[in-house]
Each structure stands twice: as structure tokens, then as C-alpha cells.
Structure 1
Amino acid sequence: MGDSGDLNSNLHFRATGDPHLDKAIYQWMSWDKNPKTYGQMEALLREGSVEELRRRLCSRMSFGTAGLRAAMGAGFALINDLTIIQSTQGLYKHCVASFPDLRSRGLVVGYDTRGQEASGCSSERLARLTAAVMLGKGIPVYLFSTYVPTPFVPYAVKKLRAATGVMITASHNPKEDNGYKVYWETGAQITPPHDKEILRCIEESGEPWGDSWRVGLADSSPLRRDPTEEICSRYMEELKSVCFHSELNSRTRLKFVHSSFHGVGHNFVQQAFRVFGFLPPIPVPEQKDPDPLFPTVSCPNPEEGEPVLELSLRLAEREGARIVLATDPDADRLAVAEQFSDCQWKVFTGNELAALLGWWMLFNWKELHTSQADTERVCMLATTVSSKILKALARVEGFQFEETLPGFKWIGKKIDELTKAGKEVLFAFEESIGFMCGSMVPDKDGISAAAVLAEMAAYLDNQNLTLNQQLANIFEIYGLHISTTSYVICHDPPTVERIFSRLRNFEGENKYPMSCGEYSVAHVRDVTTGYDSSQPDKKCVLPVTKNSQMLTFTFQNGIVATLRTSGTEPKIKYYTEFCALPGKSDASSLKVELWKVTEALVEEFLEPDKNNLIRRSM
């Protein structure tokens, strides 16, 4: 496809009778220069698909927990050449207002391997258009020359002292999707007010500027720099900071299988293993190379567990490998499975892996530090819907624990605050298999987590322990933590609004539920409205997020349950956890109690609207 074609010289369309929609149609057909998305819109106009036109054109993407994400295709509500150009123009305007030295600092742009033939979109093309907008305004751009893991962008932002960074990726979303993730100068994902300001600037900058469609500008501009070799080299060198037993790694008897889920992770995990002294993991051949169609998995999300790990587990059995590692397509998340008998596998949850990795990072840190003052300087973080296991570790070990809103952008923001206060962040996680080991990258990172996990497994194996056995040891010392995470799918926003409105007026106006099934509610926290009954002033400590729904119920028996809407998918997620004190390890009775509360939660709080919900398990 060329830089730009004159598709719009004979622009005619039949008015729909809706002035707002007609204006949006005219703007789209005037501005879009991608023949494939232009053709999609022409077809919808010929067919008179008014509702589909309205869905695609009369709303815009907003920043969720992981940036802008949507299906690829024509329309202001979707990911395509035009909306990426508009987003970058908005980002440029906000950066100009925020950074007086923007022209000397520039920005970083990376991309994964997603793409869609029908819309003529690929992550690489969208990254080059992102670069073109900035280069056209005289802003230096560090554009990677090949696909990279998502964590390489925030890492590069920090190391190159760039003002901001953009990663074109939809991570583990379905193959139809793509996304636009923005990082600030700290290397953390943007949080309010930056997201709101960028969206405001996007609205003001709808029409593409002169050079914005010049996708080839990145090849000719002297302001374009390629950071690929430097960043990969520096990342792998710094990775040694979280490697503690390289000599042991080099002689371990353990074998590992790795799947990159048709994404970007293969080469980088191989390199990370070599840095740690391991033999490279055995790749799953069918999933080793990038493929935007993700042909061997129904969903490119390793968090879905054993069904999507099938090829990895069978290969491990044939190769005699006890540990399976899987990175998601943009390699910022990590799934792990361990064989415990013939053809029997334990697939760890994100919360269980966090218990292991948190313990491991602290264990090695304590080997080098002995004073209590040092311990009090150390921090670990988790999102509020994640397990409280790190809080239990902190209570016993004396380090600082911090909780944030869901999404690693909030963890990144908190890390910046803690670092400026002289704290050392050892580990952070979110329950959806996102881990940050050490302080290299203020974001989740599946590459470093894979190497760190492998080293922990090798160390434990040398002690004749499995990962699962060590997990049991952790729970014995710090208290058993049993959690469940599930979701319902809802494609009807009014239904979602009705569910949460009902919960806020359950026992009357502005009165939340006082019980669920046979279980009494001790406290309610509503991050959407800022209410928290456990606080003296009834106000949330966590930031208020009016544009998303999240309610947390703490029961008298100690179970904590949270309902929230997803920032990237049409889901209502629900999380429940039983946090037992050390020594109370009757797992079977705790699981029964947790199951009862979870079922009551679904039946009473969600299922009055069950006709519009599809229930799923995670």
C-alpha cells in the first residue's frame, strides 16, 4: 500500500437523517486514505447499515486498564490507520504542553506482530504511522526495526530518557483486535489526568495533518533512530540483576518447554535463559513463530489454562520436561505449569505464581541484606483484585506492602512515588499472570519473569522440592490463601449499569447489600463512587474511577469478594479469596466456604440479569 491515495475526490453518500451520524460519515470518508477501510465504509453505506455505521462512527475508544483497544476495521470506534493517526496527533499536542524539551527527548515506538488483511492494518504499519505523525512535527522517534516484547518500550523510555512511548499491541486479546498503549516519561503507563487530556486533544485534532499519512517517513527522516540493538543488549545485561544462582542454573537437571503463543516471545526468552546460564528452553514448534491468526489456539491467552496449553504439555511429556512456561503474544505475561505425575499437570494461577515469585525475590534479597532498616525500605505491590498473599508476607517479614487499583498502570504510578521516597521495589503483580521481578521495567514483563521462575524451579529442585511443594510451605508459614477468579460476558452496557445500580440500592436507596446468602457483609468499598464503609470518613483510600465499575465486599468470615467491569473486554469479572491465618490449613473446608460465598455472589448479585449474561470460568 502506498503512502496515501486520493480516494476522496468524488465523495458522495446518501444522508441517513441523523445529523450526528451524517457528519461522522462525511468526516470519515473525507479523511480516511486506507483503501481497505475506506472500502469497508463504502460497503456499509451501500447496504444502508445505519446501526452498524452508528456503532462504528458515533463513539470513540477510551483509555482502559491497558490503553486503547478495539477490533481492527473502519470507524472511529475501531483500530485503524486513521484512529491511530488521530490518537498520535492528540498525544503530540499533550506532550508539547507537558515537555518543553520534547524535541530533544523524543518518543519510543514499538509493535507486536498482529495484523488483519481485511482492514489493511498491521501493528508494524500502525507503528510507522505513529512515527510519521511525530516525525512530521520535528520530534525524534526511536522506532524499533522489528517486533519487540511490550516491556521493551517502557524499558527504552527509561533508558533513553524519552518523553513518552507507544506500543502497538492488543496483548492476549482475540486476533481481530489491536491496541495503542501509552507510557509516560517514568516508564509507567499513563494514568489520569494524562489519559483524559490526550483524549481531549484527540477530539481537537481529528483531521490528519499533512505528513501524518506518510508511512514511509520513518525510512527517510534523519530524526528516526533504531533502538533495537541497544535496548535488547542493555535489557539482557541488566537482567543479570535478578539472576542469583547462574552456576546452579548451568548444571540443573530440569528441562523446560516454552510457548510464545504465536507471538514475539521466542527469541527473547531464549536469550534470557542464556543470560541466566540455562540451556535454552524447548520451543513448541507449532507456536514458535509469529502468526497473527493464532492458528493453534482458540484464544491467544495462556491464562485460560490447560485447554490452550495442550501442545506445550504434550511436548513436555515427550521431552521429559517438568516445567512449561508460556508467554502471551506480546510477552508481558507468563503462565506456568508443573508436572506432578504421568500426564498430570498443575497449572498455577496468577495468585499462586505471585506467592512463589514474591517469596523468591524476598528470599534472595534477604541473603544480601540483614538489617531491619533495610527490610523496612523494601516494598512489594499488588492490585486490589489480586491475592493478599504479599500482605501476609509483609506482616511477618516487615517490609512495606502497597495495594493499587486494577491494572499495571496504577502499579507503575505507585512505583514512581515509592522510588522518589527512597524505597526499593522488589516485586509487583496482578492476578492475571502479570509480574514485575525487580525494578528494571515498571510494568509487567513475561521475559524476565520466565527466567526468574526457571531459576527458582532449578533452585528448589536442587533442594528436592517442586514448585507446588514450596507453595504449600509458603502457605504454611504465612497462611493459606485460596482464591477464585471468574467472569460473565455481557455485550449489553445497560445491563451492566443496571447490575451495579441495583447493588448500590440493594436494601433501599444508597444502601448496599448487608448479606449474601447466609453470609454477613462487614464492609463495602465502592471505588466508582468513592465510598468505603471501613474508613472513619467513609471515603476510599484508592483513587475514585468514575468511568469503570468496581465494588468490593468484605464478609464477616474474612472472605473478600470484588465485582468489576473489564477495561478491555465485555466482561464483569468477580474475584473471591479466603485469607486464613498461619496454622489454619484445613484447605478443604476453606474451599467449601469460598465456593458457597462465590455461588451466592453470582446468584444474588448477577443472575437476576442472567438472560443477558454468559457465565465463564477462568
Structure 2
Amino acid sequence: MMAESLSSLTQTWLQWDQDPTTRAEIEKLRDSNATEELEKRLRNRIEFGTAGLRGRMAAGFSCMNSLTVIQASQGLAKFIRDKRSEIAASGVVIGHDARHNSARFAALAANAFIAQRIPVWFFKEEGPTPLVPFGVNHFRAAAGIMVTASHVGYKVYSSNGAQINRPEDGEIAQSILENLEPWPTAWAELQPSEYLRADSYQNLLPHYGKRVEEFTKTTVTDWQPPRPFVYTPLHGVGGLVLPNVCNSIGIHDFVSVTAQEKPDPDFPTVKFPNPEESGALNLAIQTADQEEKTLIIANDPDADRFAVAEKVGYVNLTSPPYSSLMCFHLDSETWYTMSGNHVGVLLASHILDSYDSGNDCSNLAVLTTTVSSSMLAKMAAAKGIQFTETLTGFKWMANVARDLEKEGKTVVFSYEEALGYMFPSVCYDKDGITAATVFLAAEAKWRAQGLTAYGKLQKLFTEFGHHETLNNYFRSPDPQLTSTLFQGIRGSSCLAEMKFGPFKILRWRDLTEGYDSSTPDKKPDLPEDPSSQMLTLWLDGGVRFTFRGSGTEPKVKFYIESCGESREDAVTAVCDAFLAIQEHWVQRFTPSMTYSKQLPTSSGHVLDLG
């Protein structure tokens, strides 16, 4: 079959698109004969996967825009009507955050379901992502949709409150392809209807707040408020919910960052509104210093992620290893921003400590992903609690949690290193609101024990070994470059000889090709995925790292972890592993790949390769 001509693709777009802004974009490209850009915009469709749609916001079939949202919604609506007809009458929850076009995309999505006579639990108000999966379970809905700032996305939840996963995502993707042409009411303004539940958000919010409060207080025996703190929602929707939840729990002594407390899709005070990014908390730190507060908590713009910074003191620091390559950027009385792994093990410790160690905990389970710290596994083993590792992303962790529940397990906590934390007692996705209240409850408990959060973390390191991480990426603008790199690695001698730079390879796992050197049948214990690139190596000296191609960004990511008796030993091992990756893999097979010249480890050491 001959490929459709570019002029035909352009004509189809202009025939279907009724959004004046995106129509004008394509018309301008057509009139200026910008064929290369039109090819990028129109030739390939935005992929429905990773639990929904992700992409940059622009005109064209390959991007996030009104038309592609309509098409995805029509496909999902027909899938539910035809393949899930027994639960279609339960309706679909649709929410959105405060980014540009979120409210419009949510309304256009609602039209598709109403056209199929599927009720819509519609959130007129902008709100946090976790309210949608919470709402799916509360309303016993057939599905949920969240239009979110995270990677500019359209997240889809199944009837179990978890993000959709295989094979459901493939079936929905096929239904989308079968329903591309907008239906007669697709572009209409959202109107009152017997199928539109327009007051759903305000009805749901008190139930969510009560659930968060109840769960938070189950984690402590003697509830007390935390120390005074500063909060920033980074111009997102967390500021609309978390302060009220805190007040209802009895947490009143906090200050919000004034310039960032209201939603603003332009994010005027930060370069990139992600609390993982360097500098994102600068204004919060200024506020905390002015207010003489020593604790900062933050949400990302859709409030499904949570971050912590604490003012700590260092005295007589040991000179770090690799003095020619590294520096230590923390001084006495300075702000320490915790990594996702740090916050994850702190929350886990608090929750696990709420279970009496004298009781049988074998029915309990905790989860984390293959790129997160191995420390949680040790903490679970010490309590006799089941630990399960999953692939990256909460679509995996949430669905694995649901499967474990069917086996009679109670999953009490789950997290991933990218500042995401799940509490199944509240909802089956990462939840930055609940993470904040649970952390504050834990902070108050530790303070009563004479510990700061940082002090508690060091105590955990003493008990389970100092775990150091270095998570970053190489830039790979061309998917073929990523493929070349992984082909070179698989064809090299290091895996066959079980030797990697200065390290001996103890085990390696290839989830792309479904191989694990440690199992009797050489099959991995995690699902293989031929559509992605992912290798994990276990090395002598307590080092493990994962190397994977990103499914949403032009990057090859690496996640290195070591466990040593001291911070210095662990840092040394992490840096050795990175230098081996750089020398033996990247420079050998894809020398054109670039990377950040300064790579901070989780404790604040910086591997400076400038």
C-alpha cells in the first residue's frame, strides 16, 4: 500500500480540526511549503501507550492538541461501549489540572463519552491527579481520564483505579484508529445532560480529604503536628488542596510560597516546574530563610509527586574520594534536598514501623521499581514483609498491587525514585498530597525521638548500609542512535566475559530480549518488553545499575546504586560505575552522545567531568 501523500494528510487535518489556533499552525506551514515540519507533525500519530497520551502541545497528528484528544476519547468511549458494556453505565471520571488547554481538553473528552451515552463524573474545577484514580474507585467507574501537566499528558485509568496496562492499552489504541473522524458533537461546547455529572469534584473532594486524614493518622499512635514548614505547589493545583487537608488534620503552622501558591500555567518563577530539577526550590528556600523555617515540602504542578528539603548542619566533613573529579557542595547549615529514594525509604520506614514487629506481617507487601533503591527490600525483609520489584512506572506498580491483593496480600506502600509514592489505602497511583501528610506525621514522630528527617535517614543507613545513587541521562536525539548503543553493548565481550571495567559482573538482565543470567531457565522474573531498551547489571562491591532508553524523551537514562559501609565507599563505587559506562559503552559505541558535565549523587557529591 502506498503511503498517503503529505497534501492528503494536510487536507484531512484541516477537514477535521475545528480549533482555530491549531488550524492556523498547519495552514501557515502549508502556505510556507514547510514540508519537513509538516511531515513531522502529520505523518505519524501520537502513540497511545505509557497509560495514555504523552507529547508536546502543538498542531498535528503527532502532538497533543484538541483533535488528538478527541480521537483518543472517541476510541476509549467506543472501547468501553463495545468491550466493557457491562460496566459502561458506571461512567467515566474526567479531571484536569491548571496547565494551558487542560480544561478544554477535558470538556472535549467528555463529549465523546456522552455521545456514547456513558455517564461522565466531570471535574469542572482544576485539581490534583490523585483525585481521579481515587474517584474511579469511589464512584466505581468504568475508567478515568486525567489531563495533566506531567509530560503534557492524557492519563487513562482502568476500572480498578490503576493506569491501563497491557493488553488493554493495545485494544484501546486499535479502537482509536477505528474512530479517528470527529463525531457530530465532538467540537460542541459541553452542555448540561443527563449523562453529565458536573458537580463531581466538589462532591468527591471531602471524601478524598477524609480518606487522607484517616490513613495518615493510622500510621502514628500519638498524633502530633510537625515542626513549622514552608510549602510550595510550584504554581500548580496542590495549593488548592493540601493546605486545607493539613488544616483538617490539625497542621496549621506553615507558610506557603506566596508567588507560587496559586495555579499559573506559565510557571513564571521557575525555569522548569519539577521539584527534581536544580533550582526549582530556590524561592521556597528564600522564603524559609526569611521565615526562619528549616523544612520545605513541595508538590509538582499536578500534585502527584512530592519533594522535601531540610536545613541541616555539617561539621568537619571528610574529604570526598575522587578529589580530582568531585566536590562536596554542602556547607555547614545548608539546605539538603532529598532524592526520591531518600523520601521513599523514610516513608516506608514510618509506615512499616506502624506494624508491630511481634505480629505476623507475612500478609503485607511493599513494592518499588527496578530503577529505585534496593534498600526497601532490606527493610521489608527485616520486618518479614513481602517485597516485590516491578517495571518502571505506576501503571506497573498499581496493577501488581491489585494482583497481590487478589492473592490476599495487603500492599501498604509503593514508590519510585522519581518522587512518586503510592498509598493503596487512598488510591492506586502516585499521590503527592497523601505523601505530604504522611511525611509530616512521620517528621513529628521523629522529632519527638530527637531526630530530624535527615538524622532518621542516616540512622537507616547505619542499619541497612549507606545507599548512594547517581541517576541521570545521556542525550540521544535519534532513536537509531539509542538502538546502535544497545546493539553494541549486547554484541560486546563484557556481558559474555562477565567483566565490566574494574567490576566483575555477578548477574545481568535484559528485559528487551527476555534474558536473566541468574535464573535456571535464563528467563527474567519481570515481563520482557521488546519495544523498549533496558539492561540491568549487578556488580561486585554492592553495585547495581539499570541502563534504559526513555519511552517519552530523547534520552538514555542510567540509574546507579551502591551500598557501602560508609558514604565515601558508596560514592566511590557509584562514580567508578558511571565512568565504566561512559568509557566502555557510550564512548565506544556512540561517542556523539552527550551528557551533563556535573552529575550530583544522592548525598550531594558532584561528579564534575567539565
Query: Could you tell me the TM-score, scaled by structure 1's length?
Result: 0.90
| Aligned partner (choices 289, 293, 307) of residue 321 of structure 1 | 293
Secondary structure of 2:557's partner? Answer: strand
CA contact (8 A) 1:361 1:437 kept: no
CA contact (8 A) 1:158 1:187 kept: yes
Distance 2:541 2:48 in 1: 37
Residue 244 of structure 1 and its aligned partner are, at CA, apart by 4.3
Residue 518 of structure 1 and its aligned partner are, at CA, apart by 1.5
Distance 2:454 2:424 in 1: 23
Distance 1:453 1:160 in 2: 28
| Aligned partner (choices 291, 294, 307) of residue 267 of structure 2 | 294
Residue 351 (structure 2) pairs with residue 365 (structure 1): no
Q: How does 1:490-529 map to 2 (within 5 A)?
A: 490-507=476-493, 514-529=498-513
Residue 435 of structure 1 and its aligned partner are, at CA, apart by 0.6
Secondary structure of 2:493's partner? Answer: coil
Aligned to 2:571: 591
Aligned to 1:349: 339
Residue 164 of structure 1 and its aligned partner are, at CA, apart by 0.3
Letter in 2 for 1:101: E
Distance 1:595 1:424 in 2: 38
Distance 1:247 1:31 in 2: 59
Q: How does 1:237-316 map to 2 (within 5 A)?
A: 237-239=210-212, 240-244=214-218, 252=226, 254-279=227-252, 281-305=254-278, 307-316=279-288
Aligned to 1:138: 117
| Aligned partner (choices 489, 492, 495) of residue 475 of structure 2 | 489
CA contact (8 A) 1:383 1:404 kept: yes
Aligned to 2:169: 195
Aligned to 1:601: 581
Residue 230 of structure 1 and its aligned partner are, at CA, apart by 2.1
Query: Could you tell me the TM-score, scaled by structure 2's length?
Result: 0.91
Distance 1:111 1:520 in 2: 49
Distance 1:437 1:287 in 2: 27
Secondary structure of 2:354's partner? Answer: helix
* 1:379 to 1:246, Cα distance in 2 relative to 1, 3 A: closer
| Aligned partner (choices 541, 556, 563) of residue 547 of structure 2 | 563
Residue 365 of structure 1 and its aligned partner are, at CA, apart by 2.6
CA contact (8 A) 2:233 2:260 kept: yes
Aligned to 2:450: 464
Letter in 1 for 2:575: W
Distance 1:481 1:51 in 2: 48
Distance 1:425 1:603 in 2: 41
| Aligned partner (choices 38, 43, 62) of residue 77 of structure 1 | 62
Letter in 2 for 1:156: G
Q: How does 1:124-273 map to 2 (within 5 A)?
A: 124-171=103-150, 173=151, 178-214=152-188, 216-217=189-190, 219-225=191-197, 226-239=199-212, 240-244=214-218, 252=226, 254-273=227-246
Gaps in structure 2 of 5+ consecutive residues: 314-331, 601-610
Residue 614 of structure 1 and its aligned partner are, at CA, apart by 3.7
Letter in 2 for 1:549: Q
- Alpha-carbon deviations, 1:552-604, whole Å to 9, x = none? 11113331110112232222110111134xxxx22212211221112211222
Distance 1:85 1:207 in 2: 9
Residue 189 of structure 1 and its aligned partner are, at CA, apart by 0.4
| Aligned partner (choices 514, 532, 539) of residue 523 of structure 2 | 539
Secondary structure of 1:560's partner? Answer: strand
* 1:65 to 1:383, Cα distance in 2 relative to 1, 3 A: farther
* 1:512 to 1:570, Cα distance in 2 relative to 1, 3 A: farther
Residue 64 of structure 1 and its aligned partner are, at CA, apart by 4.6
Distance 2:520 2:55 in 1: 41
CA contact (8 A) 2:98 2:263 kept: yes
* 1:205 to 1:524, Cα distance in 2 relative to 1, 3 A: same
| Aligned partner (choices 410, 418, 421) of residue 407 of structure 2 | 421
Letter in 1 for 2:519: Q
CA contact (8 A) 1:257 1:323 kept: yes
**More divergent stretch after superposition (104-113 vs 279-288):** 279-288
Residue 249 of structure 1 and its aligned partner are, at CA, apart by 5.6
Distance 1:576 1:455 in 2: 31
- Alpha-carbon deviations, 1:494-517, whole Å to 9, x = none? 111111111111129xx6573222
Secondary structure of 2:440's partner? Answer: helix
Distance 1:148 1:605 in 2: 44
CA contact (8 A) 2:51 2:164 kept: no
* Matched residue count: 577
Distance 2:445 2:185 in 1: 55
Aligned to 2:319: none
- Alpha-carbon deviations, 1:64-110, whole Å to 9, x = none? 54531111111001001100000011111221233223442010000
CA contact (8 A) 1:506 1:513 kept: no
Distance 1:604 1:156 in 2: 49
Letter in 2 for 1:465: L
* 1:103 to 1:517, Cα distance in 2 relative to 1, 3 A: closer
- Alpha-carbon deviations, 1:252-272, whole Å to 9, x = none? 5x1111110111000211022
Kindly, what percent of the aligned residue pairs are identical?
37
CA contact (8 A) 2:541 2:573 kept: no
Distance 1:435 1:355 in 2: 10
Residue 438 of structure 1 and its aligned partner are, at CA, apart by 4.9
Aligned to 1:106: 91
* 1:512 to 1:431, Cα distance in 2 relative to 1, 3 A: farther
* 1:513 to 1:93, Cα distance in 2 relative to 1, 3 A: farther
Distance 1:423 1:300 in 2: 37
**More divergent stretch after superposition (189-198 vs 590-599):** 590-599
Distance 1:459 1:256 in 2: 15
Residue 546 of structure 1 and its aligned partner are, at CA, apart by 1.7
Letter in 1 for 2:566: D
Aligned to 1:8: none
Letter in 2 for 1:503: I
